[in-house]
Amino acid sequence: GEDVEQSLFLSVREGDSSVINCTYTDSSSTYLYWYKQEPGAGLQLLTYIFSNMDMKQDQRLTVLLNKKDKHLSLRIADTQTGDSAIYFCAESIRGGSQGNLIFGKGTKLSVKP
Amino acid sequence: DAGVIQSPRHEVTEMGQEVTLRCKPISGHNSLFWYRQTMMRGLELLIYFNNNVPIDDSGMPEDRFSAKMPNASFSTLKIQPSEPRDSAVYFCASSLLRSFEQYFGPGTRLTVT
């Protein structure tokens, strides 16, 4: 079945880059997503990438996709304390946007001053 | 826009009681999703609706769980009878049909003692 795997914790110092990794299993995924969850809040879409792309950059965020290895990563440049949150990788299945997203368990990013 | 509204934000109940969680999606959105989040299992999709019609309820854990969407602006998730293992944060999310961005509500933290 479909599965999305992430490491559970990452700790970095303020100003450093953070790299959060994710592996997925459904090779037919059309879209892959990164969501951010701040304490006590719901998830918020951070960025996404189409499966026919290798990289997407959006300000401090860089998403890299390796379709062959089914590996997705999110790089946050110049990490700030406000970036402390849980980051979820998700893939869409069954043609994507209309329905099911499979989420990883989330990576808790802690940013130390 | 007020975003997705969920009520109550916190619910504490005793085992065996009926629990009803409520969700108001963003106006104009025609897809609605119910998720459950626990430390052990992460974020799980319970059920989703398109145009008020349930499309996939395969994630509903058992017959004690039921969900309805009587109109485009309201949905409920009911647990009857509730059990301690139902303790979790329940999220509602909505989106436009064929959009990959789901907007999450703040969640309802349910504790069953």
Task: Give dist(CA B30, CA B50) in Å, integer.
Answer: 6
A81: helix, coil or strand?
helix
A11: helix, coil or strand?
strand
pLDDT digits (tens, 9 = 90+) for A63-103: 999 999 999 999 999 999 999 999 999 988 754 444 568 88
**Banded model confidence at residue A37, pLDDT cuts 50, 70, 90:** very high
B64: helix, coil or strand?
coil
B93 and A CB contact within 8 Å = yes
Average predicted confidence (pLDDT) for chain A:
89
Which pLDDT belongs to residue A97? 43
Under-70 pLDDT residues of chain B? 1
Task: Give dist(CA A53, CA A31) in Å, integer.
Answer: 10
Contact B72, B30 (CB under 8 A): yes
- Asked whether residue A5 carries a pLDDT value surpassing 60, the answer given is yes
Contact A98 B106 (CB under 8 A): no
Which pLDDT belongs to residue A98? 46
Among A94, A98, A102, A108, pick the best mutation site for testing chain B contact (most B Cβ within 10 A).
A98
Give the Å distances, CA to CA, from B68 to B34, B38, B72. 11, 23, 11
B87 and A CB contact within 8 Å = no
Would you state the structure tokens that stand for residue B19, as one six-digit string? 């629990």
Tell me the average pLDDT across A57-68.
94
Which pLDDT belongs to residue B63? 92
